Amino acid sequence: MYGGCDVCNFHLICSGHSLLLSFKFASAESIQAEDSLHHSDWWDWQVCILQRMKMECWSLLLLLPISMLPGTTSCPSPCRCGSGIVDCSQRGLSTKSLPASFPPFTEVVHLNQNNLASIPNGLLDRLSQLRQVNLQQNPWHCDCDILYLRGWLQGQQNKPLYRDLTCVSPEHLKGRVIMYLTEEELVTTCQYWYCNLALVSQICLFLLIAIQGILLIFIIISLRRFQTIAREARRTAKELQYNSESYVYDNAPLHNYERT
C-alpha cells in the first residue's frame, strides 16, 4: 500500500521487539542515514512504524484477557507455589475443598497428609508437564469416586511411586493398592447408584407409555365422536332435503294435477 514500506522492512526485521527503543534512542549515525532518505520515503517509514506499533498493541490487548483467566498462572489457595512445584500438603484439604485447577506449567504437586477420599475427575489431566504427585497419607475411600484416580495411576510411567497408596475404606477393600483394583470390585460398592438410576429409568418409561396410551385412547374416542357427528349430520341433511321436497309437493297448485 505504501511504497516506502520496502525501505523500512530491513529495519523492522533487525529491530524485532526492540523497535520502540531503537526508535526513541537512535544514534547519530542512524539520524544521518534517515536525513539522506527522500521526504516521501521518510514519511512512509514512519507510517510503517506506526502500523507495527498498532499491531503490537492489539496483540497485548488480546493476550490480556487470557492472562486474567482464573487458575491460569495464579497459585491456588491455600497452597504454596514456586519453580513448577505446588505444595498443598498438610492443609487439611478434603475432596470438596481441593483447588479446582493448578497452574498450567506445574511439574510436581504435593497433596500428601490431607483428608482426601478421592480426586475430582479431570483435575490432573490438564497438566501437560506434570511429573509427580505426592498422594501419601490420605484416607482414600475406594468406591465409584476413586475410579478416576485409579485410571490416572495406571497411566503413569513411574508406578512404583504410587504402590503405597492403599484403600482405607470400605472394610472389604481396606489395605488394597488403589491402582490394582478392578472395576468389578469398585462397581459393587456403588450398585445403589445404578439401582436408583435403573428405578428412575423404569418409572420414566412407565410414565411415557402411560401418556402414550392416554393419547391413543383420546384419539380413538375423538375419531368415534367425529364419525357419530358426521353420520348425524348426513342424516339431518337427508331429512331436511326430504322435508323440503315434501313441502314443495304439498304447496303445488291443484290445476297442475288436473292437467296431468
Domain residue limits at 13: 5-67
The backbone torsions φ and ψ at residue 180, rounded to the nearest 5 degrees and listed phi first, read -100, 0
User: Residue 173 falls within a domain, yes or no?
Assistant: yes
The residue among 181, 199, 225 that closes a domain is 181
Task: Answer yes or no: is pLDDT of 218 > 80.
Answer: yes
Mean pLDDT within 159-187: 90
Pairwise CA distance, residues 140 & 111, whole Å = 12
Q: In terms of pLDDT, which residue wins out, 44 or 211?
A: 211
DSSP SS3 for 82 = strand
Residues 205 and 243 in one domain: yes
Same domain, 91 and 150: yes
Q: Are residues 98 and 169 in the same domain?
A: yes
Residue 202 pLDDT level (bands cut at 50, 70, 90): confident
**Distance between CA atoms of residues 50 and 5, nearest Å:** 12
Q: Is residue 49 part of a domain?
A: yes
Residue 95 has pLDDT above 90, yes or no: yes
- Residue 197 pLDDT exceeds 80: no
Distance CA 59, CA 73 (A): 19
Question: How far does the chain reach from its first CA to its final CA, in angstroms?
Answer: 109
Q: Does 151 lie in the same domain as 203?
A: no
- Please choose, from the candidates 10, 15, 20, the residue with its C-alpha nearest in 3D space to the C-alpha of residue 50: 20
Q: If you average pLDDT over each of 44-48, 67-71, 148-152, 187-191, which comes out highest?
A: 148-152
When the pLDDT of each residue in the chain is averaged and rounded to a whole number, the result is 76
Does residue 259 belong to any structural domain of this protein? no
Q: Which residue has the higher pLDDT, 130 or 70?
A: 130
* Predicted pLDDT at 72: 45
Phi, psi of 114 (to 5 degrees): -125, -165
Q: Which of 10-14, 99-103, 182-186, 231-235 holds the top average pLDDT?
A: 99-103
Contact assessment for residue 136 and residue 165, using Cβ atoms and an 8 Å cutoff: yes
Look up residue 211 and give its DSSP letter.
H
**Residues 129, 135, 136, 139, Cα dihedral to 10°:** -170
Q: Residue 87's beta-bridge partner residues?
A: 80, 110
Q: How confident is the model at residue 10 (pLDDT cuts 50, 70, 90)?
A: very low
Q: Are residues 208 and 238 in the same domain?
A: yes
Within 10 A of 186 (CB to CB), how many other CB atoms are there?
Answer: 19
- Position 188 pLDDT exceeds 90: no
Residues 149, 118 contacting (CB under 8 angstroms) = yes
Say if residue 167 is in the same domain as residue 219.
Answer: no
My answer on whether 95 and 177 are in the same domain is yes
Confidence class of residue 126 from pLDDT cuts 50, 70 and 90?
Answer: confident
Q: Which residue has the higher pLDDT, 133 or 58?
A: 133
- Beta strand 108-110 with 132-134 is parallel
Same domain for 100 and 177: yes
Which of these three, 133, 154, 181, is where a domain ends?
181
From 40, 67, 94, the end of a domain falls on 67
Distance (Å, whole) CA 144 – CA 193: 9
How many domains does the structure of the chain reveal?
3
Q: What is the mean pLDDT of residues 66-93?
A: 79
pLDDT band at 16 (very low <50, low <70, confident <90, very high): very low
